[in-house]
Amino acid sequence: MMDDSDILSEFDEMLLQGVFARVWRYLGESADSTSLVTKSRSHQELKNKLELAVGRTGVDVDTMLSDIDDYLEESVKTSHPHFMNPMWGGTNVASLAGEFITALTNTSMYTFELAPMATLIENEMIDTMLKLVGYNAGEGIFTTGGSNGNLLGLICARDRKFPDAQRVGLVGKQLVAFISEDAHYSTSMAANVLGIGLNNLISIPTDESGAMIPDELQEAIGAEKRAGNFPFCVIATAGTTVRGSVDPMVELAEICHQEKLWLHVDAAWGGATLLSPKTRSLLHGIDLADSVCWDPHKMMGIQLCCSVFLVKNSGTLRRVCVHTQKGHYLLLDSAETVDLGHMSLQCGRRVDALKLWLAWRAKGNEGWASLIERYFSLAEYLTSKVKEHPRLELVVEPSMTNVCIRYVGYGMNKSKEDSVTMGIRNELISSGKFMVSTSQIEGRPILRSVIANPRVNEKTIDELISSIVEIGGSLSSN
C-alpha cells in the first residue's frame, strides 16, 4: 500500500517502472496501421465495462497498472497513421520528454524564483516566434490554447480603445468586434466572457474560398458607427477550422489602421506555416496585426496544451494584467521585470514552453520547415486523388492542409449525397479504421481530413480514398 511519506517506496518504483514499460508498448502499438485507431465504444458500453469508483482504502500496484492498461486500451490512438481527425496527431517524442519533465519538476510559471530556467526558455520561445511573425518590439505569453489567445486579443483591443474600462467598466459604451463567418467558435466565447454581448460580435461574409470580404467589413464598421456603437477589434483568421482559409490580412490591416481598430489574427492553425520559407507567404501581412495567437499543439504536433499569444508592442500585457500587482504574496515587486505572472490571465500556469523548446532543439528550424512542407505536399496528393476520382468532390480548393470531401454519384440528389457522406464518416469511425472529422460547408456535410500527423503518408491516403469509395459505393446502392 502506498505511503505518502516514503517518496521512493516500493509501490512508487513498481508503478513508475510499469508505466515506463507501457510507454514503449503504447507508442509501438499506435504506429501499427493494421490496428484499430479507435474502439468506438458508446458512452454506456464503456461505462458498463469499467469500474471507476474510488474506494475507502487504496489499491495495490497491480490494480493500478491494470487501471492504466484499461485507460491505454480505451484511448483513441492519436499517433496512429489513420488518425486524421482534429488538427493535430502523432507523437513528437522530444515534446513528450518535455511533458514528462514538466510533470516531474511540477512548478508554476508565475515567478522566476519558482521557475528559473523555465522562465528563460519561455522567453526564448516567445522571442523566436515573435521574430517569425515579424514583430521587432513585441512580447508574448504561453496560454492554454487559441481560445484563450482570442480572448486575450479582445482584452488587449478593449484596453486600447478604452484604457479606463478595466477600472470603471464600459458604462454605456457598446463595444463591437468583427469576425469572419468562418471564425472559430472561441471568438464567441471570448465576446461572451468579455461581456460585449454575442450580438455585438458581427460576422462578416466570406468569399467562395472562405476568406473574409474586406468591403463587407468596411460596410459593417460604417453601419455600427452610424448606430452609435464603438467598433474596437477585428479578428482575422489565418487558417480557418473547416476550410483552412486565410483572411486577407493586408487589406484588413489597412481598414483597421484607418478606423483605429485593433487587428487580432487567430493563427492557431495556420501559424505553423511561418516555419517554412515555402509556405510563410500564405500569412502575408500577419506582421501588420496588433496581436496573434498560434497553437504549437496543432500543426507542430506539440503535446496539448501548448499555445502562444503574441503582441506587437511590449508593455501591453503588463497593462491588461495590472491587477496582478495585488498578488504581493506571490509576485515580488523587485522581480517584476522577470516574473511572467505579470503577463498572464492565469495564476498557476504549467510549464508548456519546455516541450516546445526540446522539440525545437531536436528538429531545428530546418526540421520544422520540412515537416510543414511534407504536410502540404501530402495535402496536395490527397487533393489530386479526390479530384481524379469520379465519385468524390473536392468541396473547396485547400489553402492549408484541410481537405474537404463529399461523396457524389450518378443519379444521387443532394440529400442522398449528404446522407452517404455522413454515413461514410460514421462507418469509418465505427469500424475503427480511420478517424476523419465531419463539418458543414454552406449547410451541407463534408468529410474533413486534415494532414497534421507525421505518420500519415501516401499509402495511408490511398487507403483512405479506397475506404471512402468502398463504403460510399455500398451506401449509395442502398
Residues in contact with ligand PLP by CB under 6 A are: 87, 145-147, 184, 186, 237, 239-241, 266, 268-269, 295, 307
Closest residue to ligand PLP in the complex (CB): 145
Half-sphere exposure of 287 (CA within 13 A, CB side): 13
Sequence-separated (6 or more) residues with CB below 8 Å from residue 287: 133, 134, 135
From the list 78, 96, 97, the residue with the least C-alpha distance to 456 is 78
Q: Residue 194 carries which DSSP code?
A: H
CA distance 339 to 331: 7
* Of 186 and 453, CB closest to ligand PLP: 186
Sequence-separated (6 or more) residues with CB below 8 Å from residue 153: 190, 233, 235, 262, 264, 266, 291, 293, 309
Closest CB 241 distance from ligand PLP, rounded Å: 4
**Residue 250 has which C-alpha cell?**
493586408
Closest CB 157 distance from ligand PLP, rounded Å: 17
Closest CB 147 distance from ligand PLP, rounded Å: 3
* Of 31 and 305, CB closest to ligand PLP: 305
Closest CB 368 distance from ligand PLP, rounded Å: 19
Tell me the one-letter amino acid at 352: D
**Residue 401 has which C-alpha cell?**
492542409
Closest CB 291 distance from ligand PLP, rounded Å: 14
* Of 38 and 237, CB closest to ligand PLP: 237
Closest CB 122 distance from ligand PLP, rounded Å: 17
The Cβ of residue 241 has, within 10 Å, a number of other Cβ atoms equal to 24
* Of 161 and 243, CB closest to ligand PLP: 243
Whether 132 contacts 306, CB under 8 Å:
no
> Helix or strand or coil: residue 374?
helix
**Residue 436 has which C-alpha cell?**
476523419
Strand bridging mode 402-407 / 392-394: antiparallel
* Of 289 and 408, CB closest to ligand PLP: 289
* Of 216 and 295, CB closest to ligand PLP: 295
Closest CB 103 distance from ligand PLP, rounded Å: 20
* Of 102 and 437, CB closest to ligand PLP: 437
* Of 71 and 185, CB closest to ligand PLP: 185
Tell me the one-letter amino acid at 109: M
CA distance 311 to 291: 4
CA distance 218 to 437: 34
Output the CA torsion sign for 206, 207, 212, 213: negative
> Helix or strand or coil: residue 327?
coil
Closest CB 151 distance from ligand PLP, rounded Å: 10
* Of 118 and 190, CB closest to ligand PLP: 190
**Residue 375 has which C-alpha cell?**
504536410
* Of 50 and 198, CB closest to ligand PLP: 198
* Of 237 and 401, CB closest to ligand PLP: 237
**Residue 446 has which C-alpha cell?**
463534408
**Residue 349 has which C-alpha cell?**
500556469
**Residue 153 has which C-alpha cell?**
486579443
In terms of DSSP H, where are the helices of 134-247? 146-161, 165-168, 186-194, 214-226
Is residue 204 within a helix (H) or strand (E), and if so which, with residue range?
Answer: strand 201-204
Closest CB 86 distance from ligand PLP, rounded Å: 7
Closest CB 26 distance from ligand PLP, rounded Å: 24
Closest CB 194 distance from ligand PLP, rounded Å: 16
* Of 96 and 265, CB closest to ligand PLP: 265
CA distance 64 to 11: 10
Beta sheet of 291-294, edge-to-edge order: 139-143, 307-311, 291-294, 262-266, 230-237, 175-180, 201-204
Closest CB 330 distance from ligand PLP, rounded Å: 26
